[in-house]
Amino acid sequence: MKHISLILFITVFLIAACTPSVNNTDARLDKRVDSVLQLMTLEEKIGQMVLYTSDWDVTGPTLRENYLDDIRKGHCGNIFNAHTVAYTRQLQKIAVEESRLGIPLLFGYDVIHGHKTIFPISLGEAASWDTTALELSARVSAIEAAASGLHWTFAPMVDVSVDPRWGRVSEGAGEDPFLGSVIARARVRGFQGPSNDLSDTLTVLATVKHFAAYGAPEAGRDYNTVDMSERVFRSIYLPPYRAAIDAGALSVMTSFNELDGVPATGSRYLLTDLLRTELGFKGFVVTDYTSINEMVDHGVAANFAEAGLLAIHAGVDMDMQGEVYFNFLKKQVEEGLVSEKLIDEAVRRVLKVKFMLGLFDDPYRYCSEEREKRYVYAPEHLDAALDVARKSMVLLKNDNQLLPLKKGEKIAVLGELAASTRDMLGSWKAAGDWDFMQSTLDVLREYNGEKNVIYAEGAKKTGDDRSGFAAALSAVRKADKVVMVIGEDWDWSGEAASRTSIQVPGVQTELLAAVKKLGKPVVVVLMNGRPLDLSREHLLADAILEAWYPGTMGGKAITQVLYGEYNPSGKLPMTFPVNVGQVPLYYYAKNTGRPIYLPNPKYKSRYIDAPNDPLYPFGFGLSYTRFEYSALKLDSKQLTAEGQLKASVTVTNSGAYDGVEIVQWYVRDLVGSVTRPVKELKGFNRIELKAGESKVVEFLLTPSQLAFYRQDMSFGTEPGDFKLFVGGNSRDVLEAPFVLK
C-alpha cells in the first residue's frame, strides 16, 4: 500500500459514529459528498465522469488499453465488463490504494436477465405476465451480480417496440406501455431490493435504458433514426421510463438514436427538461457506448470536442467509453466553455451513488468470496430460473391435443438447436456458462429414456445444408412423434442484429415440410428472440411451443412443458404478424377513417395480398386446458369524475387440466378530441383454476386510467362513451359499454 487513502481517512473520520449499516440521510449524504468534492482537482472530478470497459468482455467497438493506469491516476472512476470478487478487488485496490484520493470504483455490467444463473430473455420473461416472478428474476440476478463484486447493472431495458425486425425487442418487455411499465417497476424493485436500499450488499443499482424511444428505429434497423409525434412519444414510449424512475432507479442510460432531429445524448430537452425537471429523476445519466462521439457521425457536431459540449450541456454525467470527457472537458472548463459548477453537479451525482452503495465506508464490501460461493448458481436460483422459464413459454398451437406428450413414446428429436446449450442463454448471457448446462436433447433423453429418443440434427440454424435431411427423415420413420427445435441463432437477436426477413432462417422449415409428409404428429419448439413470421410453420406443425431463449434451466423447462409436468400459461407480449409486410403491427392501432369492416370491397385500409390481422395477437397463448369467459358485468353503466367502476367476469376452466389464465382488461374510448386506439390494456389478473373450477374475477376502473394526451396536449380525461373488454388475449374478448360523466 503506497499511502493511506486520504479520502478513506476523512470518510472514516466523518462516520466515526457510524453503525455497520450505512447511515445515509439526504443532508448527511450531501455533506459527505461535498467533503470529498472539495478535495478533488478538476482532472480527478472529470475522472468520476469517465466509464471504461475492462478487457474481460466485449460489448462494443473499442477498448482503452491503459485503463489500469487511468484508474491509478484518478482519471477513471468507473469500470464495466469486469466481474468476480477476485478481479474487482484487484481493480478496486488500484483505485483505493494507488490513486491520490482513493475514491472507490463503481463496477457496472450488463446483467439483463441473470448474471451467472441465466433466466429467459427479457421478452420471454415478459410473456409470463408474472410480476412476482419477474421481480424474483431481477432479485436473483442482483444477488449473484453483487456477490460477484458488481454494484451496478445496465438494466432494465424498457424500450417499447412494435417492430420485430429490430433485434433488440428480445431485451425489452414488448409492445405495450402498460405491461411494460408494470414490468419496469418489478425489475427495478428486484435489482435495487424491496426497500430500495443500495447499501444492502445483495442489491445493485438499476439503469433505465435507453432514454429515449430507442425502440422505434425506422425500418427496424438498429441505431437508425427515430421520429414520432410528441403525443405518440408520451403516450406509448415514455410510460415505462417514467415507471422505472418512479420505482427509484438511480441511473439512466442515453440512447444511440436521434429523436426529432436531436441525438438523445445531446438532447437537453430529453436529459434535463424532461428527465430531471418533469420526471424528477435524481440519479446520474450515463451515455451508451461511445454515443457522445457518435454525434459527429449523426452530424450535429464537427468533432468530438464539440460533441462533448453538447453532451455536458444536455445533462450527461458520465461518458461510457468515448474518452471525450477525458480528453476535452478539462480544457473546455479552463477556457470557460463549460462551467466548473456543471462538472461539480455531475460529480456530486456519481459520488452520491457511491456513498449510497456504501463504497466509501468499505470499498471492498462487495468483494466477499464467501458470498460469491454461497450465491452464484445457488440451488434456489436455479429453481427460480426453471420456474420463470416454464412461465415464459407460450403455446401457440395444439391441434388434437398433441401436447402434452406421453412418457415412453418414441420421439424423433430434430434440429441443431435441440442439442445446443449456448443458444439457450440468448444474446445477453452476462457471466453465464453453458458448458455445464443441459440441452433440450439431454433432458429429453433423461426424462423419456435414451432408447425412446432418436436424435438427428437434420437442419442447421442457418445456411442451406440439406445433407442431414435423409438421416432426419429416417429417424422420423422410426418414431411415434416428432419434436423439432427450430429458430434463430442466439446472435440473430439483440444489439446490431436487425433482420429484414422474420422467417425461420435457413432450411429448417423445409425440413419441417419434408417431415410433415411422413404423416407423424409434429411438435415445433421455437427458440428465438423476436416475433417471427410463422405462417408456414403454423400450417405444417400440429403443435407449436414458443420457448424463446429460456436460459440456464431451459432444457428442463421445455421438457416439463412438453410432457405436461407444467401446463403452459405464457401470453405474447408482442404481436406475431402474418408476414413482415404487416410490420409495424400492434394491437393498440387506430381505427382509421376506412376500417376493414366497411362493406365497400376496395377503398379501405387493407392489403390486397394479406389480411390485416396478425397470425397470433398480443396477449395470445393457449393452455392444455380451456378457459371460458362469461357474465361480464359492470356495477354501474356510468363512471363519475371521482368515482370508480367495478367490473366482474366469470372465468371457467372447462378442460381436463389445472391451469393458469391471464385475464386481460382492455378499454376503448369511442370519441375523443384526438383519435383513440381500438384497445388499450388497463389491467390483468393471473389466476389459477383447477379443472372444472370457475372464478369471478374483478377489475376496478377509475377515471385516471382513462386519461390521455388531449388535443391541446394536456393530460386528462374526456367524458363520453367507452367500451370495456375482457378476455384471454387482445382479440377474443367480451365487451360492455359504459359512460364517463
List, by residue number, the catalytic residues.
288
Minimum gap (Å) between residue 574 Cβ and ligand NOJ: 19
Q: Region of 31 please: left (phi>0), alpha (psi -120 to 50) or beta.
A: alpha
- When the beta carbons of 122 and 332 are compared against ligand NOJ, the nearer one is 122
- When the beta carbons of 151 and 371 are compared against ligand NOJ, the nearer one is 151
- When the beta carbons of 257 and 368 are compared against ligand NOJ, the nearer one is 257
Per-residue interface string for the shown chain with ligand NOJ, residues 573-592, x marking contact by CB under 6 A: --------------------
- When the beta carbons of 241 and 627 are compared against ligand NOJ, the nearer one is 241
- When the beta carbons of 323 and 495 are compared against ligand NOJ, the nearer one is 495
- When the beta carbons of 130 and 288 are compared against ligand NOJ, the nearer one is 288
In this structure, are residues 626 and 692 in contact, taking their beta carbons and an 8 Å threshold? no
Minimum gap (Å) between residue 251 Cβ and ligand NOJ: 11
Minimum gap (Å) between residue 211 Cβ and ligand NOJ: 11
Tell me how far the alpha carbon of residue 504 is from its chain's centroid.
22
Cis peptide before 156 (omega within 30 of 0): yes
Centre a 10 Å sphere on the Cβ of residue 698 and count the other Cβ atoms it contains: 13
Minimum gap (Å) between residue 706 Cβ and ligand NOJ: 34
- When the beta carbons of 61 and 593 are compared against ligand NOJ, the nearer one is 61
Minimum gap (Å) between residue 46 Cβ and ligand NOJ: 21
Q: Which residues does residue 699 pair with via DSSP β-bridges, in sequence order?
A: 647
Interface with ligand NOJ: number of residues (CB under 6 A): 8
Best CA proximity match to 262, nearest among 303, 211, 222: 211
Minimum gap (Å) between residue 262 Cβ and ligand NOJ: 18
Could you give the CA distance from residue 461 to residue 711 in angstroms, rounded to a whole number? 49
Of residues 359 through 378, those in contact with ligand NOJ by CB under 6 A are: none
Minimum gap (Å) between residue 154 Cβ and ligand NOJ: 4
Rounded to 10 degrees, what is the CA torsion of 158, 159, 163, 169? -50
List strands edge to edge, sheet with 394-398. 394-398, 543-546, 522-527, 481-487, 411-414, 453-456
**Contact with ligand NOJ (CB under 6 A): which of 44, 70, 98, 110?**
110
Q: Which amino acid is at 142?
A: A
Could you give the CA distance from residue 737 to residue 82 in angstroms, rounded to a whole number? 56
**Contact with ligand NOJ (CB under 6 A): which of 135, 144, 488, 495?**
495
Print the SS3 string covering 281-346.
CCCEEECCCCCCCHHHHHCCCCCHHHHHHHHHHHCCCEEECCCHHHHHHHHHHHCCCCCHHHHHHH
Per-residue interface string for the shown chain with ligand NOJ, residues 282-311, x marking contact by CB under 6 A: ------xx----------------------
**Contact with ligand NOJ (CB under 6 A): which of 67, 107, 154, 618?**
154
Minimum gap (Å) between residue 326 Cβ and ligand NOJ: 17
Element (H, E) at 386: helix 379-392
**Contact with ligand NOJ (CB under 6 A): which of 6, 23, 42, 59?**
59
Q: Which amino acid is at 635?
A: D
- When the beta carbons of 53 and 729 are compared against ligand NOJ, the nearer one is 53
Supply the DSSP symbol for 550.
Answer: -
Crossing angle for the helix pair 26-37 and 340-356, nearest 10 degrees? 120
Best CA proximity match to 288, nearest among 387, 402, 159: 159
- When the beta carbons of 57 and 97 are compared against ligand NOJ, the nearer one is 57
- When the beta carbons of 67 and 289 are compared against ligand NOJ, the nearer one is 289
Minimum gap (Å) between residue 167 Cβ and ligand NOJ: 11
Task: Summarize the chain as % helix, strand, coil (round to 5).
Answer: 35, 20, 45
Q: Closest CB to ligand NOJ belongs to which residue?
A: 59
Minimum gap (Å) between residue 178 Cβ and ligand NOJ: 23
- All residues at 6 or more sequence positions from 37 whose CB lies less than 8 Å from its CB, including other chains: 45, 344, 347, 348, 351
Minimum gap (Å) between residue 185 Cβ and ligand NOJ: 20
Question: How would DSSP label each residue in 72-88?
Answer: HTTS--EEES--SHHHH
Rounded alpha-carbon distances, angstroms, from residue 597 to 165, 274, 601: 28, 40, 9
Length of the chain: 741
Best CA proximity match to 67, nearest among 320, 417, 314: 320
**Contact with ligand NOJ (CB under 6 A): which of 56, 60, 196, 402?**
60
Of residues 229 through 268, those in contact with ligand NOJ by CB under 6 A are: none
- When the beta carbons of 549 and 629 are compared against ligand NOJ, the nearer one is 549
Rounded alpha-carbon distances, angstroms, from residue 83 to 119, 143, 203, 367: 19, 13, 15, 10
**Contact with ligand NOJ (CB under 6 A): which of 209, 349, 391, 571?**
209
Residue with cell 499511502: 3
In this structure, are residues 507 and 536 in contact, taking their beta carbons and an 8 Å threshold? no
Grid coordinates in use for 225?
433514426
Minimum gap (Å) between residue 322 Cβ and ligand NOJ: 12
- When the beta carbons of 223 and 738 are compared against ligand NOJ, the nearer one is 223
- All residues at 6 or more sequence positions from 87 whose CB lies less than 8 Å from its CB, including other chains: 54, 56, 149
Q: Which residues does residue 653 pair with via DSSP β-bridges, in sequence order?
A: 627
Binding site for ligand NOJ (CB under 6 A): 59-60, 110, 154, 209, 288-289, 495
